[in-house]
Structure 1
Amino acid sequence: MSKSLNIPWILAIGWMATIFYLSHQPGEESGELSSIVAAVFSVIPLPEDQLHYLVRKGAHVFAYFLLAILFYSASRKWYVALVISVIYAMSDEFHQKFIPGRSGQISDVGIDSLGVILGVFTFAVFYRKKQSASSE
């Protein structure tokens, strides 16, 4: 296997490590990071608590959207990307139960899974378009 074939797997595992790092932050630190990001989006006319909530849940969708794309790119199989990413979402929420100020939420696994489904679908559409364009 050439080194270039390993890059997608390295990126996927590296993104898993990033998710783990962010999930390992105590609740107060995680909340501060969310507040900083929410401040960037403060031009959106929403109450601060709603904006903060949307930023946090949007981060879940984005993180697992990207994770699914990376695993799909590495494996070239949608079901591998789906299964690994959803299992990782479940393990991540379990992990958060042991972090001060954090709690594992089943609803967050659902939100993460939405990101996974969107990522798998998006990659599948672009991958098929690329394959059909290269076969013409």
Structure 2
Amino acid sequence: MSSLIRDIKERVSIPGLVLVVLFISVIWGNSLVAGEGSGSLSAGVMEWVQGFLQSLGLPFAWVTNFLIRKAAHFTEYFILALLSSHAFDPKRSAGSEGIVAACVLCVLVSSIDETIQLFVPGRCGQVTDVLIDCSGAFIATFIRSAAVRWYRRREYGRSA
């Protein structure tokens, strides 16, 4: 039993896993907000972004509530994938196990997230949101994997 625990500790960062669980709680907590509250939050973000762009003299009408909501999905799962890929690969080995674990976790969390929304007044779960979530997760794991490989090559080159 102790060898199993030691093996898990070598492959998984416990503090990283705690961060992952906390971030999942934030994601699912946002899904529990009723449609009216969620809509007003994204409308507030939209107005802020539009005002910021306008103050810079840039076009701002293209920033819509729809765009803000979909960007939030992408960003949440981008961050979740970065956190989870680090938690499952704390030694930066760039092995496929950590990447696969992070991706599977993101797909499961996203699917549960959209299912939660089916039971919240004014919200609806959407398959397209799962696809957007998974896109954010895929891009994050790709970037992290590329960065780890670059870092390892750079470090290997120094020691040679």
What TM-score do you get using the length of structure 2 for normalisation? 0.78
Deviations 1:76-103 (Å, cap 9, x if unpaired)?
2111000110111011100100001000
Which structure: larger Rg? 2
- Is the aligned partner of 1:13 residue 2:21? yes
Among residues 72, 79, 85, which one is paired with 1:66 in the alignment?
79
- 1:75 matches 2:84: no
Q: Pick one of 46, 61, 83 that aligns with 2:61.
A: 46
In angstroms, what is the RMSD of aligned CA positions? 1.7
* Alignment partner of 2:30 out of 22, 29, 44: 22
Q: Which residue of structure 2 lines up, in the alignment, with residue 113 of structure 1?
A: 134
Distance 1:23 1:123 in 2: 27
In the TM superposition, what is the alpha-carbon distance from 1:109 to its structure 2 partner? 0.5
The amino acid that maps onto 2:14 is N
- Counterpart CA distance in 1 for 2:134 and 2:152 is 26
How many residue pairs get aligned? The number is 133
Sequence identity percentage? 30
- TM-score scaled by length of structure 1: 0.91
Q: Show the counterpart of 2:94.
A: none
Following TM superposition, where does structure 1 have runs of at least 4 consecutive aligned residues deviating by more than 3 angstroms?
A: none
